Amino acid sequence: MHEVPFNRPFVSGFESKHLSEAIELKHFAGDGPATARATDLIRAVSQVPHALLTTSCTHALEMSSLLLDLGPEDEVIVPDFTFVSTANAVALRGAKVVFADIREDTFCLDERLLDDVWTTRTRAVFTVHYGGVGSEPERLAAWCSERGVVLVEDNAHGFGAAWNGKPLGSFGLMSTVSFHETKNLQCGEGGALLTTSDEVLGRAEIVREKGTNRSRFFRGLVDKYTWVGLGSSFLPSELLAAFLLGQLEAIDDIQTRRHAVWDAYRQGLADWASDRGVRMQAVPALAQHPAHLFALLMPSPADQRGLIEHCRMQSVGATFHYQPLSLSPAGQRFGTAAPDGCPVSKAVAERIVRLPLWPGMSEQDVDHVLSVVSAWEPRRSPLNG
C-alpha cells in the first residue's frame, strides 16, 4: 500500500559539503566559522540584529527565562495549547506559569484575554505562533509595552514567516527558533535565541557560555575569562551548525515545496471540509505563514479519532497535537489558569488532526492523502441519526 508518513526529515544536499569543511578545519566545538555563517543567515531571514545558535529551542527558552531573571515572585502568561518547553522554561526558574486560552480561529494565544489573567506580578508573555501563523504580534507587543511586560516569541514554528510584512521573531525583546528534525529547517536538534537588544545580547553570550565572559575573551575585549554569572552550556557543535548551514541555504526550495503541499490540501479539501463541518486553521490576511503544519478541526472528538484511524488503516500518518497544559500533571503543579479554564484549548486538542507535510512529498503522496481524507465520512451513531 502507498505509505505517507506524517514527517520525513529533508536533506537539501548542501549539508555534506559544509560538514566536510568543518571536519577538515578540525574545529568541532561551537562558535566557529559555520556557526558564524549560519547565524548571519538567521539574522537576515528574521531581520533581528542579534542571534545566537543554541542546542535547542527548549534551551533558547530557558535562556530567555534566565535573562529575564525570573523568580518565585514572578508570573508569565503562556498559551495553554503549546509544547511543554514554553511553560517548562518558566517553571524551571520557580516562576508561576499562567495559562491563557487560545483563539478559535488561529489556535494562537487569545490576546483579548490578557487583561483577565494579568496581575502586578506579570513579568512576561511567552507567545507561540501556532503553525507559524502570527499570534496578533502587533497587538501583543502594544499590550505588553502598555503594561511594562516583556514579550518573548516562541517562534519554533514560524522561522521565515511574517505578520504584515515584518518577520515573526522580530516583535519581542527575545524570540526563539527550533531546528529540531520536525521543524521547517532542521539539524536534528538545534535552535536559536534572537534579540533586538545589545544589552540582552551581551548577557546572553555569558549565559550561553557557562556563565563566563569567554565570548568577550575570544574577541580580545578582556585578557582572561572568568565566571561572571549564571549560565549553562547552550552552544551547539560546529558539526550541527555546518549541517544547519546547508538547510539555511536551501530555505527557498524547502519553503516552495512545503507551500505546494499546503496549498494542494487547502484547495483539495475545501468542499469536503465545508460539507462535513470540518474547519481549517484560519490564516488572517496579515499573516504570511510558513506552511509548517496543516491542521483540520473536526466536528467532534469521535471524529478526530475516526479520521486518524481511517488514515492509519491506509498508511497515512495523520495525528493529533498538544494536550492542554493547564490540565497536565505538571501544569497543575506549576501553573494556574482563569477560573473557567481554557475551554478553547481543550476543544481544539480533542478535535484537531494534522496531515503529513514535508518537503520531499511527491505529487502522488499528496494525491494519496487527499483521496484518503476525502473518503472519510463522519460515523453517525444510530442515536443521533
Ligand X SMILES: *Cc1c(COP(=O)(O)O)cnc(C)c1O
Query: CB under 6 A: which stretch of 6-14, 78-86, 268-276, 282-290 binds ligand X?
Result: 78-86
Query: Of the ranges 16-24, 80-88, 90-98, 247-255, which one interacts with ligand X (CB under 6 A)?
Result: 80-88
Q: How far is the CB of 291 from ligand X (least distance, A)?
A: 15
C-alpha–C-alpha distance, residues 46 and 256, integer Å = 18
Q: Which of 58, 65, 88, 281 binds ligand X (CB under 6 A)?
A: 58
Q: Which is nearer to ligand X, 123 or 157 (CB)?
A: 157
Q: Whole-number minimum distance, CB 186 to ligand X, in Å?
A: 9
Strand order in the sheet with 150-154: 50-54, 191-195, 174-178, 150-154, 122-128, 75-79, 96-100, 335-337
Please say which residue, 109 or 141, places its beta carbon nearer to ligand X: 109
Q: How far is the CB of 327 from ligand X (least distance, A)?
A: 18
As a whole number of angstroms, the distance between CA 312 and CA 309 comes to 5
Retrieve residue 208's grid coordinates.
550561553
Q: Is 178 in the site for ligand X (CB under 6 A)?
A: yes
Size of the site for ligand X (CB under 6 A): 14
Distance of closest approach, residue 154 Cβ to ligand X, in angstroms: 5
Using CB under 6 A, pick the residue from 50, 123, 180, 214 that binds ligand X: 180
Pick the closer one to ligand X by CB: 4 or 57.
Answer: 57
Residue 128 vs 207, nearer CB to ligand X: 128
Left, alpha or beta for 174 (phi > 0: left; psi -120 to 50: alpha)?
Answer: beta
CA distance 58 to 329: 19
Q: Which is nearer to ligand X, 353 or 370 (CB)?
A: 353
Query: With respect to ligand X, which residue has the nearer C-beta, 213 or 255?
Result: 255
Q: Which of residues 240-279 bind ligand X (CB under 6 A)?
A: none
Q: Cα–Cα distance between 11 and 19 in angstroms, integer?
A: 13
Measured at the CA of 146, the angle between CA 143 and CA 149, to 5 degrees, comes to 75
The residue among 67 and 370 lying less far from ligand X, judged by its C-beta, is 67
Q: In angstroms, give the least distance from the CB of 86 to ligand X.
A: 5
Choose which of 64, 65, 82, 212 interacts with ligand X (CB under 6 A). 82
Half-sphere exposure of 306 (CA within 13 A, CB side): 15
Does 208 engage in binding with ligand X (CB under 6 A)? no
Kindly state whether residue 83 participates in binding ligand X, applying the rule CB under 6 A: yes
Nearer to ligand X, 82 or 345 (CB): 82
x/- string (CB under 6 A) for ligand X, residues 130-169? ------------------------x-xx------------
List the one residue from 39, 56, 65, 186 that touches ligand X (CB under 6 A): 56
Q: Does 85 bind ligand X (CB under 6 A)?
A: yes
Least distance (Å) from ligand X to the CB of residue 307? 22
Name the minimum Å distance from CB 179 to ligand X: 7
| Interface with ligand X, residue 191, by CB under 6 A | yes
C-alpha cell belonging to residue 31 = 562558535
Residue 128 as a binder of ligand X (CB under 6 A): the answer is: yes
Q: Is 15 in the site for ligand X (CB under 6 A)?
A: no
Can residue 352 be called a binding residue for ligand X (CB under 6 A)? no
Contacting range for ligand X; rule: CB under 6 A; set: 50-58, 132-140, 200-208, 278-286 = 50-58
Binding residues for ligand X, rule: CB under 6 A, are 56-58, 82-83, 85-86, 128, 154, 156-157, 178, 180, 191
